[in-house]
């Protein structure tokens, strides 16, 4: 990864005290900006503690103060990445925070934020964002352990048996919590709504031989690109599926079971998102 420029380091260091003195104001403003411009960010924070602005503020200040010695933050960044992966944060989310944070710094510190300072913080934000994105990518790739594959195989039959109930519930939850998703399914006949969840369950049953699914995956990716499915939509499906599993399976949907399905989902989702990105680039 490219290193931060000496100038950026200098500017971030010299402005860190002003940011620190106003850090909670800045981060509160950041959430205001983000939630009003990017309402899809809101559900990601549904389980966030009340003091999330302070948590974020502390991490930004720590970052600015350690800008010359980022190695000192590595363990902290590893923890943040792990938490982010638990809540399905994707690279596509980072511009929401970046734009909102830089806007908030400007709102709170006013004219003191020159173009030069703004440029330095922009560079510094994206540097940090990319460190997290890389860590998160690795974590997503390592989610699906052999233990989890075994749980998937053990629970696939129950999920299949209750498939109808789970998929029905999943769509109820998804359409209720993420109303914009309805538009994406506008061209689908009603009874086809369950195709997606059924496919997830079907693929999970074949968790050991996913390489055999490349043809099916290609077909889904093409369909998704035609319907304009984007990475930011992917957290909605798994969030809804896990809730539906809890509702339908009750005690059967243990933490371990849900974690295993979460891992299997992201394994497949990452293959799809990657292929879809290529297809979008081809048509662009
Ligand atoms: C460079 C950018 C970012 C930094 C420095 C950062 C920092 C943090 C920190 C320090 C935590 C607390 C971790 C813990 O609980 O141990 C956290 C959690 C979280 N972050 Fe980020 N984050 C960044 C980007 C993002 C983005 C892009 C999103 C999504 C739009 C996001 C959403 C969340 C959520 C939802 C939580 C968890 C709240 C909970 O505990 O439920 N973050 N982040
Ligand atoms: C791992 C995750 C996913 C899997 C396994 C999956 C699976 C499928 C399958 C099997 C189809 C039918 C393909 C065909 O017609 O040949 C499909 C289409 C579709 N999927 Fe996905 N999907 C996933 C994620 C998503 C997400 C995140 C969304 C959006 C929230 C979504 C929305 C749709 C829509 C709208 C269609 C097509 C509707 C139409 O035919 O008009 N899918 N998906």
pLDDT digits (tens, 9 = 90+) for 228-271: 999 999 999 999 999 999 999 999 999 999 999 999 999 999 99
Q: Tell me, in angstroms, the distance from the centre of ligand 2 to residue 270's CA.
A: 14
Q: What is the pTM of this model?
A: 0.93
Together in a domain, 197 and 132: no
Together in a domain, 160 and 104: no
The proportion of the chain whose per-residue pLDDT surpasses 70, expressed as a percent, equals 97
Together in a domain, 166 and 257: yes
Has 205 been annotated as catalytic? Answer: no
110 falls within a domain: yes
The answer to whether 110 touches 22, Cβ cutoff 8 Å, is no
Together in a domain, 21 and 132: yes
Name the domain boundary from 103, 121, 141: 141
Q: What is the pLDDT of residue 207?
A: 84
Together in a domain, 136 and 197: no
Q: 208: pLDDT confidence band, cut at 50, 70 and 90?
A: confident
Residue 191 has pLDDT above 80, yes or no: no
In this structure, the residues whose C-beta lies within 6 A of any atom of ligand 1 are 41, 44-45, 47-49, 52, 55-56, 59, 79-80, 83-84, 87, 89, 93-94, 96-97, 128-129, 132
Together in a domain, 153 and 273: yes
CA gap 1, 195 in Å, rounded: 41
Q: What is the pLDDT of residue 247?
A: 96
Name the domain boundary from 100, 122, 141: 141
Together in a domain, 109 and 157: no
Query: Which CATH number covers residue 162?
Result: 1.10.490.10
1 falls within a domain: no
Ligand nearest to the CA of 96: 1
pLDDT in tens, 88-144: 999 999 999 999 999 999 999 999 999 999 999 999 999 999 999 999 999 999 999
Name the domain boundary from 80, 109, 141: 141
Residue with tokens 């890389």: 134
pLDDT in tens, 128-172: 999 999 999 999 999 999 999 999 988 888 888 888 888 889 989
CA proximity to 257, closest of 44, 95, 249: 249
CA–chain centroid gap for 146, Å, is: 23
The answer to whether 112 touches 18, Cβ cutoff 8 Å, is yes
Residue 197 has pLDDT above 90, yes or no: no
The answer to whether 34 touches 96, Cβ cutoff 8 Å, is yes
The answer to whether 122 touches 104, Cβ cutoff 8 Å, is no
Together in a domain, 269 and 168: yes
Residue 169, domain extent? 146-283
CA-to-CA separations, 275 to 18, 185, 230, 269, in angstroms, rounded: 44, 21, 11, 10
CA proximity to 140, closest of 81, 95, 209: 81
81 falls within a domain: yes
CA-to-CA separations, 99 to 12, 27, 86, 93, 140, in angstroms, rounded: 17, 12, 23, 11, 25
The answer to whether 31 touches 53, Cβ cutoff 8 Å, is yes
CA-proximal residue: ligand 2, atom 26 (nearest): 234
CA gap 196, 233 in Å, rounded: 13
Together in a domain, 130 and 182: no
Together in a domain, 70 and 119: yes
CA-proximal residue: ligand 1, atom 7 (nearest): 56
Residue 82 has pLDDT above 90, yes or no: yes
CA-proximal residue: ligand 2, atom 5 (nearest): 200
CA-to-CA separations, 164 to 150, 159, 283, in angstroms, rounded: 23, 9, 36
Together in a domain, 158 and 131: no
The answer to whether 123 touches 67, Cβ cutoff 8 Å, is no
Together in a domain, 19 and 120: yes
Give the chain's domain count: 2
């Amino acid at each position: 990864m490219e290193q931060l420029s000496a100038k950026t380091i200098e500017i971030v260091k010299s402005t860190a005290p002003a940011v620190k003195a106003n850090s909670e104001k800045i981060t509160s403003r950041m959430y205001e900006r983000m939630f009003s411009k990017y309402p899809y960010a809101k559900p990601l924070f549904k389980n966030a503690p009340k003091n999330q602005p302070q948590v974020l503020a502390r991490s930004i200040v720590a970052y600015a103060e350690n800008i010359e010695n980022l190695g000192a933050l590595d363990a902290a960044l590893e923890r943040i990445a792990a938490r982010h992966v638990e809540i399905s944060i994707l690279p596509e989310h980072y511009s929401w925070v970046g734009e909102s944070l830089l806007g908030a710094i400007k709102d709170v510190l006013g004219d003191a934020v020159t173009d030069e300072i703004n440029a330095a913080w922009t560079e510094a934000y994206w540097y940090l964002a990319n460190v997290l994105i890389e860590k998160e990518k690795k974590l997503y790739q390592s989610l699906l352990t052999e233990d989890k594959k075994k749980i998937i195989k053990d629970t696939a039959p129950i999920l299949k048996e209750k498939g109808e109930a789970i998929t029905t519930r999943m769509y109820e939850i998804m359409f209720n919590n993420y109303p914009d998703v309805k538009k994406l399914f506008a061209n689908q006949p009603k009874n086809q709504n369950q195709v997606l969840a059924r496919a997830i369950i079907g693929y999970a049953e074949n968790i050991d031989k996913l390489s055999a699914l490349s043809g099916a995956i290609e077909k889904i990716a093409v369909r998704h690109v035609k319907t304009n499915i984007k990475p930011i939509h992917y957290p909605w499906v798994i969030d809804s599926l896990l809730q539906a599993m809890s509702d339908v399976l009750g005690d059967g949907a243990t933490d371990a079971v849900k974690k295993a399905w979460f891992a299997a989902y992201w394994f497949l989702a990452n293959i799809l998102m990657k292929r879809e990105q290529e297809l979008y680039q081809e048509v662009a």
